[in-house]
Structure 1
Amino acid sequence: MTLSTPSSQSSLTEWLDYMQQIHVSAIDMGLSRVLPVAKALGVVQSAKDDAYVFSVAGTNGKGSTTAVISEMCQAAGYKTALYQSPHLSVFNERVRINGEMVSDQILIAAFNKVEEARIECELTLSFFEMTTLAALLIFAEADCDVWVLEVGLGGRLDVVNIIDPDMAVITNIGIDHVDWLGDTIEQIGSEKAGILRDDITLIYGAADMPNSVQQAIEHHRVKCYQVGQDFSYRIQDSQNWQYSNAAVTLNLPRPVLSLMNTTNALSAVLASPLNITTSAIEQALRAVKLAGRFDYREVAERHWLFDVAHNEQGVDFLLAQLLPLWQTHVDAQLSQTATKSSSTTIKMLFSMLGDKDMATVVQRLVTAGLPITDWYIAEIDHPRAASIEQLQSTLAKQVTEASIHVYQDIAQATHAVTEHSSSQDLIVVCGSFHTIGEALAALRVL
């Protein structure tokens, strides 16, 4: 079947549907096809000449890190471009300038230009390649001062890596995406370190560094600042924290996002030549937020916590924050009722992609010591979704069959957990970006 190219009058949905069908596979690692199109569009040269570029790779924490960097640069008065993926609700979330999502019209105009360049180069591109090129083109045409780019998958062969960064951040390295990146920390580290360039600066946000990353640092003569050695943070109380490096010690307001990711972002900003004052940093920390990252909300008279944790490291991070939040939640319920209630429990709304290590994620959640009484599961609307059979069989090895509740889709599961929980319970939604996105969409109609 021959696909017809959408026009400038076509809708954003029509363009997104078209781009999902024009390439043989959704994920196709490598830069050989995308580079000629990028050069034809002029985006590579634009970034090199006109903007300061932060590229952020890592297994977990990229979204929070890029959000904090962007907020700080914006607060300091820089026209700031932010590229993240995937999105939770609408595609426009991926492409922001000064914190605002770009319009459908701007995206469609960019898609038109990318499609014209692609056809001229006689190449096919994946959905991610097409949409990333469009984002970079938008940033170039908007003449942004700072580009903050989240690397989608790995580093070395990810389309974001066509842009040479001035500052690189590797948040951490864990086992994930083994089909594309390898199944050892050393292999994955080598792929993540592919974002490095000669004589730039790297912020490395984990205590353990694979040899492959160290070798890349030495090869490129990179100046590396590593957490625990060159910078650190300390919690002071529920409202304040302290950041320290060799040059400064800052007492700062606590953001709603992870302090570890915030620390990495602040280290990157301070190591850059950008003029970002302490007052701009404080302003940014009070304002920054990111949907789906330890995202607590009260909706439909229920307490909800949304987190995109979808691998072992991500779940460990979620639990580290969830345990104290749970105690705070229980204390709040007790203070309202004035009697000790045994009915305050956790309900899990859960689903994952089939290529993730579901067994380990479930095991971590089950053995965390939290009162999880029920699991509401459904298949995500995604080609790589774990099937109901996979979800059920994995859970059945860890929890009782009576605690597993199966639904046709995430919307039905969302309505069910709302109906079968109380206003004292905490509902935790996790396992995938797609799980959260579909649950949030369902909640909007409750």
Structure 2
Amino acid sequence: MPDTFSNDLPKTLPAWLAHWEQLHPVGIDMGLARVSEVAERMGLIRGGRLQGERSPQVITVAGTNGKGSTVALLASLAHAHGKRAGSYTSPHLIHYNERVTLDGEPASDALLVQGFVQVEKARRAVPEISLTYFEAGTLCALWCLAQSALDVVVLEVGLGGRLDAVNIIDADVAIVTTIAQDHAGFLGNDIAQIGREKAGIFRAGRPAVLGSQTLPSSVAETAAALPAPVYALGEAFSRTPLEHGAWSFQGSSAPSLTALPDPGLPLDNAATALQALALAGVELTPPAVAAALEQVSLPGRMQWRGQWCLDVGHNPHAAAYVAERFKALPEGGRRWCLLGMLDDKDAAGVIAALKPVISDWVCVSLDGPRGRDADALVNDVAAQGGRVHHCAGSPEGGAEWLRERLADDDIVLVAGSFFTVGALLAAPHFGSSG
């Protein structure tokens, strides 16, 4: 590598992100050959294991919905049990640093820049290898995690599973949360095939945790073919609702836990996290579990700001979960939805799932090549008999229009995309009264 190598590199995190956005000819390029080669050049993996100061237990999470909440629960539970935990998730809501957490804190700009320097140095070795934005970000995240002397590392699959960049690491415990149609352009519409792709993170002889009772049979079949021991919700482990929002957990290789607090996230995911962490060798204790469930938070998932509820759900399955939560809210004024979606998402399905709990709609446009125009969303809402009161060129514009018209007992659901929710969370004074 020439001595001038470091002189022509970006110096800031925003500059590095701009570099990776422009490097590869396509945004998504499924496959592990390129990213595996760069990882080996970086010394990140050996025999499928993450190399660093320690050899952490790695838990990988795939699925259509519920990945983010499961990752957050795993990290919170591990930390509460005295373990140093780190995680990698995507996408982010406001700051890129959110994608990599180290012992509960987002990675610093300086650490991420160091990581990207290592990725670029390895990538440029002969023969030079091109990487996508996600692949480069995954390698940087793995480098940051490997440097941080962690006991537990939690990795969220970005898309699919078998061919996702995260899958260059052999998971000690692998989780599939839910299976539904999403990213049809890459994964297709065959639920059985989608299940096989998600189950591609399983490894022979290592636990495969199934976090939903409605997974296609192809997920368990993939595990059996390896073979990998299967721990399925409703069979090997379960959760039972109790009075006043409490619940209990019964699992394998884990103590039974009762009178657990509601984490404000899906209980299936909380039970899945408990089972996976026990299989990763963490001895669960009731006080630590209770503390973790009370402290866990996940921005953008049923997150309340005054009268506003923000949820990044962008497919019918996720929207149906939000609708069920809304049904439990007290009667009151109007139930609005500020909706902004990407063009490759099932807008009609999301609207259909939300329609039973939404009386009034505001549609907003999202920027970028994948952004859906507000006028197209209006047509989708109108086709199902919904009342659209306003169109705006941005989530911020829609929120400003709506804020001036809300009654005290109205509620607004902000939904449809990470971009919709992220824009409002980043907006000054969002959620303040009019």
TM-score of Structure 1 vs Structure 2, range by shorter chain: over 0.9
Name the SS for the 2:304 alignment partner.
Answer: strand
User: How far is 1:272 from its partner?
Assistant: 2.3
Identity of aligned residues (%): 37
| CA distance, structure 2, for counterparts of residue 211 and residue 232 of structure 1 | 19
> Could you say which residue in structure 2 is the equivalent of 1:263?
271
> Could you say which residue in structure 1 is the equivalent of 2:344?
355
> Could you say which residue in structure 2 is the equivalent of 1:15?
16
| CA distance, structure 1, for counterparts of residue 129 and residue 365 of structure 2 | 34
| CA distance, structure 2, for counterparts of residue 102 and residue 436 of structure 1 | 22
Letter in 1 for 2:423: E
Can you list the C-alpha shifts for 1:144-187, whole angstroms capped at 9, x where unaligned? 11110011100000000001000000001111111111211111
Name the SS for the 1:105 alignment partner.
Answer: helix
> Could you say which residue in structure 2 is the equivalent of 1:151?
157
The count of corresponding residues between Structure 1 and Structure 2 is: 420
1:56 aligns with 2:61: yes
1:41 aligns with 2:45: no
Can you list the C-alpha shifts for 1:3-50, whole angstroms capped at 9, x where unaligned? x99866722111111111111111111111111101111112361671
1:399 aligns with 2:388: no
1:316 aligns with 2:320: yes
1:30 aligns with 2:31: yes
User: How far is 1:404 from its partner?
Assistant: 3.5
| CA distance, structure 2, for counterparts of residue 281 and residue 27 of structure 1 | 38
Letter in 1 for 2:200: G
Letter in 2 for 1:169: I
> Could you say which residue in structure 1 is the equivalent of 2:293?
285
After superposition, residues 94-109 of structure 1 pair within 5 angstroms as: 94-109=99-114
1:75 aligns with 2:83: no
> Could you say which residue in structure 1 is the equivalent of 2:247?
241
User: How far is 1:239 from its partner?
Assistant: 4.1
Tell me if the contact between 2:261 and 2:294 (Cα under 8 Å) persists in the aligned partners. yes
Can you list the C-alpha shifts for 1:258-291, whole angstroms capped at 9, x where unaligned? 2121111111112221233222211111110000
Name the SS for the 1:28 alignment partner.
Answer: coil
> Could you say which residue in structure 2 is the equivalent of 1:441?
426
Tell me if the contact between 2:191 and 2:216 (Cα under 8 Å) persists in the aligned partners. yes
Q: Larger deviation: 129-138 or 257-266?
A: 257-266
Name the SS for the 2:370 alignment partner.
Answer: coil
Letter in 2 for 1:319: A
> Could you say which residue in structure 1 is the equivalent of 2:71?
66
Letter in 2 for 1:420: R
Q: Larger deviation: 164-173 or 248-257?
A: 248-257
| CA distance, structure 1, for counterparts of residue 281 and residue 170 of structure 2 | 16
| CA distance, structure 2, for counterparts of residue 129 and residue 42 of structure 1 | 16
Tell me if the contact between 1:377 and 1:407 (Cα under 8 Å) persists in the aligned partners. yes
Letter in 2 for 1:249: S
Letter in 1 for 2:101: R
Letter in 2 for 1:22: L
Tell me if the contact between 1:6 and 1:18 (Cα under 8 Å) persists in the aligned partners. no
> Could you say which residue in structure 1 is the equivalent of 2:224?
218
1:429 counterpart (411, 414, 421): 414
> Could you say which residue in structure 2 is the equivalent of 1:415?
400
Structure 2: give runs of 5+ residues left out of the alignment: none
> Could you say which residue in structure 2 is the equivalent of 1:175?
181
Name the SS for the 1:18 alignment partner.
Answer: helix
Name the SS for the 1:222 alignment partner.
Answer: coil
Cα RMSD of the aligned pairs, angstroms, is 1.9
Please give the TM-score of this superposition, normalised by the length of structure 2. Answer: 0.92
Q: 1:79 and 1:248, CA in 2 relative to 1: closer, same or farther beyond 3 A?
A: closer
Name the SS for the 1:152 alignment partner.
Answer: coil
Tell me if the contact between 2:361 and 2:386 (Cα under 8 Å) persists in the aligned partners. no
Structure 1: give runs of 5+ residues left out of the alignment: 334-343
